[in-house]
Amino acid sequence: MQVWLGAEVNYGFKLQRHPLSLEKKTELGYQYAIGSHHSTYLKEYDLARIVETQHRHHLITCEDPAMDVLGHPWRFLHEEFNRQGWPLFEDMGVVPRPLVRELAAAAKATGTAIEINSTSNLCNKFMPDSYRESYVEFLRVLNDEGVTFASAPTPTNCTSSRRSASAIRSCGS
């Protein structure tokens, strides 16, 4: 049996980077690392700042030689928005197309794969269908720009896995 050892590493806001260095990754024997973001990192609602902050963290992740995959970009946590009393939005139109293309260029230039996370984005029960449909369009733009994708649908959720596979197929050129 062959098993790959890896880690999902949360972005360290105070560090302004992921806390796993390339040296530590090698020392621990990890074959891959996923750099993820699990917060807006803001205390007050400002959608433009939320998008810009995530975008900046995405680019930093792509430039980090220890990170192989950017985990679930543009994941907006329902729980955080709800806890803060912030409004959710209907679709990915809140992310300007130039930022999507800049992310694609950074990922392609550094060889960083972009994760397609079915639970957070494609099958998020808290987001409307319009969000999921626009997320597929976001993936199409990335695909058209030539990025590599990584995906690991949650195997215990068959609907999620089927929706993820369908979305991935629809992004093909």
Q: Residue 144 sits in a domain of what CATH number?
A: 3.20.20.140
* Torsion on CA atoms 121, 123, 126, 132, rounded to nearest 10: 60
Looking at residue 159, what is its pLDDT?
A: 57
- Domain range for residue 119? 6-171
- The answer as to whether 151 is a domain residue is yes
Nearest to 12 by CA among 51, 67, 49: 67
Nearest to 171 by CA among 130, 124, 135: 135
- The answer as to whether 161 is a domain residue is yes
Looking at residue 88, what is its pLDDT?
A: 84
153: confidence class by pLDDT, cuts 50, 70, 90: low
145: confidence class by pLDDT, cuts 50, 70, 90: very high
* pLDDT at position 154 over 60: no
- The answer as to whether 1 is a domain residue is no
Q: Is the dihedral of CA 116, 118, 123, 126 positive or negative?
A: negative
* pLDDT at position 162 over 90: no
- What value does the mean pLDDT take over residues 122-133? 82
- The answer as to whether 75 is a domain residue is yes
* pLDDT at position 131 over 80: yes
- What value does the mean pLDDT take over residues 62-77? 92
CA distances for 75 relative to 39, 61, 65, 124, 160, angstroms: 9, 15, 22, 10, 16
57: confidence class by pLDDT, cuts 50, 70, 90: very high
Amino acid symbol at 134? S
* pTM, to two decimals: 0.86
Taking CB atoms within 8 Å and a gap of at least 24, the contacts of 56-61 are: 57/11, 58/103, 58/106, 59/102, 59/103, 59/106, 60/11, 60/16, 60/17, 61/11, 61/18, 61/35, 61/37, 61/112
Of 42-51, 62-71, 144-153, the range with the lowest mean pLDDT is 144-153
- The answer as to whether 165 is a domain residue is yes
**Structure-model confidence comparison of residues 104 and 131, the more confident one:** 104
**Structure-model confidence comparison of residues 141 and 172, the more confident one:** 141
- The answer as to whether 63 is a domain residue is yes
- The answer as to whether 52 is a domain residue is yes
40: confidence class by pLDDT, cuts 50, 70, 90: confident
Number of domains in the chain: 1
- The answer as to whether 78 is a domain residue is yes
**Structure-model confidence comparison of residues 129 and 46, the more confident one:** 46
163: confidence class by pLDDT, cuts 50, 70, 90: low
